[in-house]
Amino acid sequence: MKNNNENILIKKLAKEFEFDVCRVTDPKLDLLTELRLKEFIDLGFHGEMKWMEETYERRRSPINLWSEAKSAIILGLNYGPGADPLIKNDNKSMGNISVYAQGKDYHGVIKGRLKSFSSKLIARLDKTNPTNVKVFVDTAPLMEKPLAEKSGIGWQGKHTNVVSKEFGSWLFLGVILVNKVFQYDNPETNHCGSCNQCIKICPTNAFDAPYKLNATKCISYLTIEYKNIIPKEFRKDIGNKIFGCDDCLAICPWNKYAKLSNETKFNHEMYNFDLHDLLKLCDETFRVKFKGSPIKRIGRDRFLRNCCISAGNSNNKNLLPYIIKLLMDDKSSIVRGAAVWAFQQLSDKELYKHIKVKHLNIENDASVIQEWA
């Protein structure tokens, strides 16, 4: 009875702090989950995300991360968009930003609520045995998606993200580990069936198989985590995407049950992504424009690199003056390299010859020079 009352309290607090869904589970993960993580790293599918190797022992089990953990409270916050994100793929004059990054950074939004939730929970629980907690929002070596499936919030789809019957593919997750045993909710079963739309729609064929993502081919990885000039074989397929990709999430049939987010901080019209404006951003204007946004995390240079790729795919020759300025003057080699490629896609033969000679006379970075080869 005590455990049941505690669970009622937990669910009540979740509503009070405006989470859309809350479940409780055992923090121990099964061996299959550990083996999938190990395979992902052993195959090099994590690419430049070396922290996944370095934190493997802690990541493979929440108990390794915090040995006192007895329960995991999983909280979900809906960030569902008002329209189908796939529509934006066709607007080549606009940069395409992943839905999760079109508002304020969810890490800050959720972490503050998790801390307030935890403080109130501790104050309301039995004081006989002290309650200790740890809160996580996608920044620590914790596998929150398997925990979400185990808790019953949803299941990991073939695209490796959590799918919910109620919210589709649009849930942010937060986790609170607690040193007390609560009543655990039942796990969710997988409802993907024979559907493989998320696998087929991937522009870069990043899925080696259902449930097996090769992040080094994923547009989200290439535009966010990857620090160098984006490999040529992926540039055309990136299209107009300049920060992340939602194709595999957006195509999921379970999104027909999804709801528009009530969270105003996830306002999907917060930023203007017109390439004419974005290609002019300097360090200062980039920081000001994206203050409080997850986009700010990658820095101006990687962002402008992405914008150049999008411009090269736009078929919009009006962007050439901005592209030429970047390839001639920008301080960043990854921006200049991407600008060379974008210029090649948009330029006519005469302009191409003129700018190539002019640029090679001043360029001294081998990786950028190679772009003209």
Q: Residue 288 — left, alpha, or beta (φ > 0 → left; ψ -120 to 50 → alpha)?
A: alpha
Q: How far apart are CA 51 and CA 61, in angstroms?
A: 16
pLDDT of residue 269: 63
Helix, coil or strand: residue 311: helix
**pLDDT digit string, tens, across residues 17-61:** 999 999 999 999 999 999 999 999 999 999 999 999 999 999 999
**Looking at the annotation, which residues are catalytic?**
138
pTM above threshold 0.85 = yes
Residues in the chain: 373
Mean pLDDT of the region 229-243:
97
pLDDT of 358 > 60? The answer is yes
pLDDT tens-digit readout, 312-344? 999 999 999 999 999 999 999 999 999 999 999
User: Residue ranges per domain, the chain?
Assistant: 2-81+102-178, 274-373
pLDDT tens sequence across 78-96: 999 988 999 999 988 899 9
- The average pLDDT across 139-148 equals 94
Question: At residue 163, what are phi and psi to the nearest 5 degrees?
Answer: -115, 135
pLDDT at site 1 = 46
